A and B are shown apart, each in its own frame.
Chain A
Amino acid sequence: MSDDYRKLGLKVGLEVHQQLNTKHKLFCQCPTELDEKVGNSLERYLKPVMSELGEIDVAAYFEWEKGKKFVYDVPLNSSCLVECDEEPPHPMNLEAIMIGLAITIALHGNPVDEVLVMRKTVIDGSNTSGFQRTAIVGLGGYLDDVEGRISIQTIAIEEDAARKIEELKDTVRYNLDRLGIPLIEISTGPDISSPEQAKRVALEIGQMLRLTGKVKRGLGTIRQDLNVSISGGVKTEIKGVQDLDLIPKIIENEAKRQRSLLEIREALRSRLDKETFLENFMFKELTDLFRETKSRVILSELNRGGQVIGIKAPGFAGILGKEVMPGRRFGTEVSDYVKSLAGLGGIFHSDELPNYGITETEISKVRETLGIHERDAFILIVGQREKLEKAVSVIRDRLAHAFEGVPKETRAANEDGTSKFMRPQPGSARMYPETDIPSIRITTDLLREAETIAPPTPEEKLDSLLKLGLNEELAKQVLNSPRLELFEKLVTKFGQKVPPTLIASTLENTLKYVKSQGGDINRVTDSVIEKILEEVYEGRISKDSIPSILLDYCSPGENRNLREIIVKYTQLSDDELLAIISAVVKESEQELRVKGEKAFGIVMGRVMDKVRGRAEGRRVAELIRRVLKEKSG
C-alpha cells in the first residue's frame, strides 16, 4: 500500500487547528465559551479589498461575487464589541502566545523574535471584520514518526471563526460566541507519504497538544486541513476534517482524483489540443426543444421564465462520466463549479443521459442542433439568463483546464471521505498587517516561562502515570484520552483517598461500560464525574456503586437528578447493615442450621442482593461473620 503511494509520489502536509482553553479570547476579555443565549443580531456585507501589495485575493473576490448577506447572532455572555467589529482589538492574549511558544519548544522549532499579527482575508462572513487575525510564533522544528521525520513549517496562533448556524440562499447566519477563541495552527511540511501516516501524525500532534493541559476538548475543538498532491498533480487543500479516522480515506480519494484527472488529461490530449477545444466550444439556447419535456427540473425552471442552454464540449465523449472518486464523476466536478461559481443547481451531461426525464428523442435533437460528433460531449444547463451566461464561462474554463490536469483549488471534506470543490485556492495576497495591534517582542523571560509549560514527551507522561500506580494498559489509555487533563485534576483533588487507578478506570472503562449498556454518556459532564468521586472521597458512597449511579443517571428517557441517585446509593452505616443481616439470618434460620459450613455463603449472597452499591463487600462479610459467630457462640 505504502509502496504504491510512494510510486504515485504522494505528498501530504497537515494543518492541525486546536482551540486553546485560555481564560479569555485572543483579542478581548470575553470568556472562551459557547453561548446559545442570544438577544441581538447584526446584518452585514463584506467586500474584498486590496492587499498591501496591491493585489486582490482571488478566493476573497469569489466569495464577494456571491453577494451574500451575513446575519450575526450576538450572545451577550461571550461576545463584546470586538467580535461585533465595533471596537478595535485589545492587545493579544499572552497566555495563548505562551502556549504557542511552549509547543514550538516541544517541536524543536524556532520562536520568532517578534510576533506580528496579520489579517488573513476571509469574506465568507465567518469573521465580522472580513479577516482572520493570525500570527506566526514559531518556525521550523520536527516530529519523529515511525516512518520518518516530519518537518514542521509554522506554528501560528489565530482567532477561531464565528460558528455557522444556517446557510440560506442569500443569507448566512453565524453566532459570535466562537469568534476570537484562540487556536493554535501547526503546519507540517509535505513529508507525509502514506494515508495511514497522516492519521498517525495527526494523532501525535493532537496528543502533544493535549499534554499541555491547555486545550479544549469535544466536538469541533480540533480540526485538520490536508494538503495533498501526487507527482504531476497540484497541492490541493482539503478543509474541515473533524474525524481523524477519515483522514486516510480522504487522502486515498484525493490521490485517486488527481490520478484520474491526469488520465483524463492524457486521454483528451490524444484526441485534440486545448486550442482546438476552445475554437470548437460553442453553446446555443435550446429552450424551444424542451417546451414539451417530461423532465420536472427543466419544466419548473421554464415555468419560472428560465431557459435551457446546450453546450458542445468537443472531444469530451466519455470523459464527463469517468469516475474520479467513489460516487463522483468528472461531470460532478464540473457541476460543483457551476453550483458554487454560477449559483446554478447543476448540469446534465451526455454521459448520464437519457435520465432525469430527458428522453432519447430530446437527446437526438440536442445532438443535431449542437452538431455533436462521436468524440464530443454535450452539457445542458437550465436557469435564469444571467446565471446561465456565468455558468457557460465557468464550464468552458473548467473543461479547458482538464487539458492541463489538476486545478488549484480548496476542497471541503465530505462525511463519506470524498471531498467537493469549495473555492479557488487563496494566495498570499490575502495577508496584510493588523495595524491595530502592537507587535510583541519575544523576550528571554517569555521563553523561560514558556519552557515551564512545554508539554512532556508521551514517554515522560506515561512514566508519571505508571508511578501513580496505574498498570501499563490503563496508563496508555489515559495518555491517549481526551480526558487526560480531567484525570490529573481529579487525582490532585481526590488522590489522597481515591486510588488513581479507580479514577482512571472510571474515566476510561466505566464510561465505556455505561455506553455499552445503552446509557447516554453525553450527559456525563466533567462536573458529574467530579461530584460522584467527591462522594467516594467523603466516604458517603462505595466505589462499587459508581457504575450503577452512572447507569441510572444515563438511562434514556427521564431527566434524572444526580443528587437523588447518589442518595439512593449512600453507604449504609454498620448499625443499618447489622439490622439487615439479622433480618436475613432470621428469615433463613432453618435453612442455615442444615447447611452448616455453607451458611455464610448463603447469607452473604442474600445480603449483597439488598445492599449492593451501598456497602463494601469486605465490610458486609466481616459483619456477617460477627453475627453468625454470636449466634453459634
Chain B
Amino acid sequence: MLEGYRGKALELLEKIGAEVGDVVEIVKNGLTVRGLLMPSYSKDDSILVVKLDNGYNAGFSIENATLRLISKGKSRIHPVTSEEKRRSEVKIISTGGTIASRVEYETGAVRPALSTEEILMFAPEIKEIAEVSAEILFSILSENMRPEYWIKIIQSVVSAFKEGNSGIVIAHGTDTMSFTASALAFALKKLPGPVVMVGSQRSSDRPSSDSTINLISSILLAKHGEFAEVAVAMHGESSDSHVLAHRGVKVRKMHTSRRDAFQSINDIPLAKVFWREKRIKMLRTDFIKRSDEVEASPKFEEKVFLLKFYPGLRPEIVDYLVSSGVRGIIVEGTGLGHTSDQFVDVFRRAEKEGVFVGMTSQCLFGRVNMNVYTTGRLLQQAGVTPLEDMLPEVALVKLMWVLAHETDLAEVRRLMQSNLVGEINLRHTIDLFPRWKYE
C-alpha cells in the first residue's frame, strides 16, 4: 500500500515495487539516506517521507535522486480483534472522535482503538472500577454525526441496559457531543442508570491526553452515579484535578481546544469526579433517579432550521425556509429574544403555514423575555414562542424530537415550553454566570 502518495512519487514507488513499511534507499547530492518508507502527508507529490534510524521522519524530493528498494517490511497492521459478548457492569459504546481512535500510520487511517482489550491496556486502572465491555458502533468524526446515527446510539444504549449494565459510557468526538447528548436525553424517556458521554480535547496518542482521566471518570460515573440522565463528562479545569459531569441538555463546548472546554450554561453540573480517589461528589440533588426500566422513542424530524439573527439579515429567508418545507425554526435572537421588526410579517406567515418558530438568545447565558420591549411583544403576537433559557442547539434538537412525535402546533408549542429532562432552568441564581478573570 502507498497511502498518501500521488503523481510522480507514486509512479516511481510503484515502479520499484516499494510499499509503505519497506526499507528504501535514496541517493541524492552525494548523500545516501536509508529508512522506512512512511505514508506521505505532504502537499508536494514529489516528496518521499522516510523514517530514519533515529526515529525522525524527513521528506526527500525524488527530483535528481535515485531510489532503491532495500527490503520488504513486515506487515504491521494489527487486526481488530472481534469482540465476544461478555457480561459487564459498564458498557462502552464508541462512536469515534479523538478519544476512541488512534491514527494508524502504517495505513494512514484512523481506526477505532476502543476494543475492550485495548481499553484495559490503555488504562489498566479501569479493572479496579468496573467490569467493562466495549462495542465499536461506528467510527466517525464528530462533525459527520447525523440524526440517523443518534438513533443507532440510542438503540445500542437500550440493548446495553437490557443486557444488565448499570451504566453506559459513550465515547464521542467533542465538536457535536452536546447535540448527541440532547438527542439522547430527549429520546431516552426512561433510564435505569447514567448514560455518560465522554470525549477528549487532546488525542489519546499523546502522553498529556485528557482521555484516560475522562474515561476513568466516566466509567466511575456510569457504575456509581445515582442519576439516570444523559451527562457529559470532561475535564473541570485545565489541570488534571477533576472531571465534571454536566447535564447533557445544559452543556456547551465553549472553547476550541482547552481541556475544560465544556461548561454548564445557566446550570450547575451534576457531579464532580475526583478520579485519583475514585470518588464522586454530587453537586445537586434534583437529578432524575434510576428507574427499573429502559424506554426510548428515537425519532427525529430533520426538516428544521437554526436561524441566527444579525443586523442586515433579510426577512425573505424565512419565506424561503417555509417554502422549502421546513416544519420548525429555532431563532437565535439578540438579547432578550429579538429580531428586527421587519420579521414580524414573515413569522406570522410561517405560523399560518403551521411552522413552529421558537426564540432563544445568542447571549447563551440568561433567559429570553419577549415582554420587555415592543419588538418582543410584536414577535410573540406573530406567533413566535419564547423558549426560556434553553441553549439554541438544545432547542433545535428538542424541536427535532418533538416534531417527530407531534403534528399539532399548539401541542408542539406546549412541549417546547415544558421542562422535559432538565433543559429549562426556571431559577437562575446569582452564581450561574462566569466571571472572566483578568487583572
Contacts and interface: CB of A to CB of B under 8 A. Distances in A.
A, B co-complexed = yes
Interface of A: 39, 42-50, 52-54, 60, 64, 81, 84-88, 110, 112-116, 118-121, 123, 128-131, 134-136, 139-140, 154, 156, 427-433, 435, 438-439, 441
B238 A130 contact: no
A129 B59 contact: no
Interface string B407-439: 000000000000000000000000000000001
B58 A130 contact: no
Given A49-B205, A60-B207, A139-B31, A428 B59 contact: no
Contacts of B59: 112-116, 439, 441
A174 to B, nearest CB: 13
Nearest to A435: B103
Nearest to A117: B57
B205 A154 contact: no
A129 to B, nearest CB: 5
B47 A114 contact: yes
B386 to A, nearest CB: 37
A628 to B, nearest CB: 68
Contacts, number: 136
Contacts of A45: 213, 240
Given A54-B78, A435-B103, A86 B258 contact: yes
Nearest to B29: A110
Interface in B21-35: 28-31, 33
B56 A113 contact: no
A134 to B, nearest CB: 7
B55 A429 contact: yes
A74 B56 CA distance: 30
A471 B33 CA distance: 46
A86 B42 CA distance: 26
Contact of B238 (A50, A86, A433): A86
Interface in B62-91: 76, 78
A429 B51 CA distance: 11
Interface in B165-209: 202, 204-209
A559 to B, nearest CB: 28
B353 interface: no
B58 A136 contact: yes
Interface of B: 28-31, 33, 38, 41-44, 47, 49, 51-61, 76, 78, 102-106, 202, 204-209, 212-213, 238-241, 256-259, 439
A86 B259 contact: yes
A538 B111 CA distance: 70
Contacts of A42: 238-239
A623 B265 CA distance: 84
Closest 10 CB pairs of A and B: A130-B207, A114-B59, A431-B55, A428-B55, A52-B105, A113-B61, A43-B239, A46-B207, A130-B208, A112-B58
Contacts of B54: 154, 428, 431
Contacts of B61: 113-114
Contacts of A123: 207
A139 B58 contact: yes
A47, A50, A438, A441: residue with the most chain B Cβ atoms closer than 10 Å: A47
Nearest to B257: A87
Nearest to B259: A86
Contact of B205 (A87, A427, A428, A432): A432
A519 B29 CA distance: 54
Contacts of A43: 239-241
A87 B259 CA distance: 9
A132 to B, nearest CB: 11
A49 B58 contact: no
15 contacts: A43-B241, A45-B240, A48-B207, A49-B204, A84-B238, A110-B29, A110-B31, A112-B60, A114-B61, A115-B59, A129-B202, A140-B31, A428-B53, A430-B55, A439-B43
Given A49-B207, A433-B41, A114 B58 contact: yes
B236 to A, nearest CB: 12
A53 B212 contact: no
A110 B59 CA distance: 12
Given A47-B212, A54-B78, A131 B206 contact: yes
